[in-house]
Amino acid sequence: MTISSELSRVSYNCDGSTKTFSVPFAYYDTGHLVVVLVTAATGAEQVLVLDTDYGLTPASGAGGTVTTLPTAAYTSEYRLVIYRHVPALQETDLIHGGALPAEPVEQTFDRAVMMIQQLAENIARAIKLPVGSLLSGVALPVPGADRFLRWNAAGTALEAVELSVVTDLLIARIGGNAAGDIVTVDDIQTLINKRINEDVMLIATSTQINAKCNSESFCTHSDGLSINNTEINVASVITESTWESIGPTGSGANNIWTALDVVPPGSDWIMLRFRMILSGGIGGDAFYLWGRKTGSVAGISSDTMYQYSQLAAGSLMWTDRIAVDASRRFDMHWQATQSSVNLELWLVGYGFNP
């Protein structure tokens, strides 16, 4: 027999109907093949037993067939892996001065090549340093519960460090109060989420904001605004001195603002850009604005936003965050000392509390 292929391992996706699987490489003994049933979702492995879980024909040859023996074929939840594992032995005994039979000699060479191939297949699945690396002899450290792998300070070896070491690095990089704030791996994610929500605003795309911003302090807008525009004029849709809710499509709010449709369910707050315009006013004209999460009590609370401005004719722009309820709704209430008022809103972000 010759070994004309480098293949020594094959994997098949089960489908609930197939029970026979080809072995596309040579083997000399049924004990030289290992058949493994792999659970696709978890990677859990079960080594199957010859003549109990599967059959193999022929007993040796340039290839063969594995037949699973359970009545029902394995479903698509599984994969079947077949690989060759030749014992690292040399069992051919050549007697000095005796005959040199060709077949045993060829089998000895074949087995040696098979061993080399199975080593190559194992190495191919191992983590290796790049060819250009100057490091060698890198070994994994002794495992430990709740420890993390990292390179040492010199970058020459791997080490296993405790959670407290990772905690100190996180606090240094992304903030926190004290190492004691992080006790479990879940606490790390909580701290990361908190930093994201405090310092990073999830910005909506330009197609979600009906505004062209020329600078940080000024946005142009179209005329004829209505509640279904991405931009909303609160002074037009909410009666002065009245609390009314604003929410996305299907939220049951007093006023539907389709811009909120892009806010993911479960969001705790939204970020709004406000533009207040007074036309023809006189010095001392005042504008008051309150905002709150729908369902909160009226007045000042942790869920209430408050803004007071005093100016003559002109405009003022600012950005603020407001809490929303489970249906992504918020309430607004406004008052002004003169009648010509516009209050325009753009949705610019949303987020989640840690």
Which pLDDT does position 7 carry in this prediction? Answer: 93
Contact between 292 and 305 (Cβ < 8 Å): yes
| 3-state SS assignment for residue 168 | helix
Contacts of 98 (CB under 8 A, 6+ apart): none
- Tens-digit pLDDT profile for residues 250-290: 999 999 988 888 888 888 888 888 877 766 555 556 778 88
Q: How far apart are CA 285 and CA 344, in angstroms?
A: 18
Which pLDDT does position 188 carry in this prediction? Answer: 62
Contact between 302 and 252 (Cβ < 8 Å): no
pLDDT exceeds cutoff 60 at 329: yes
Q: How far apart are CA 330 and CA 270, in angstroms?
A: 9
Contact between 234 and 245 (Cβ < 8 Å): no
Inter-axis angle of helices 185-199 and 163-174, nearest 10: 0
Most confident of 142-146, 264-268, 299-303, 329-333: 329-333
For tokens 């909303």, name the residue: 232
Q: Kindly indicate the confidence band of residue 13, based on its pLDDT and cuts at 50, 70 and 90.
A: very high
- Tens-digit pLDDT profile for residues 282-304: 555 677 888 889 988 655 555 56
**Cα torsion for 14, 20, 25, 28, to the nearest 10°?**
130
pLDDT exceeds cutoff 80 at 196: no
Q: Where are the domains of the chain?
A: 9-124, 148-199, 203-351
- The Cβ of residue 31 has, within 10 Å, a number of other Cβ atoms equal to 13
Nearest C-alpha neighbor of 19 from the set 62, 69, 64: 69
Cis status of the peptide bond prior to 58, with omega within 30 of 0: yes
Mean pLDDT of 9-27: 96
Contact between 257 and 333 (Cβ < 8 Å): no
- Tens-digit pLDDT profile for residues 22-59: 999 999 999 999 999 999 999 999 999 999 999 999 99
Between the alpha carbon of residue 181 and those of residues 119, 170, 173, 285, the distances in Å are: 47, 11, 15, 48
Helices and strands (DSSP H and E) totals, the chain = 4, 21
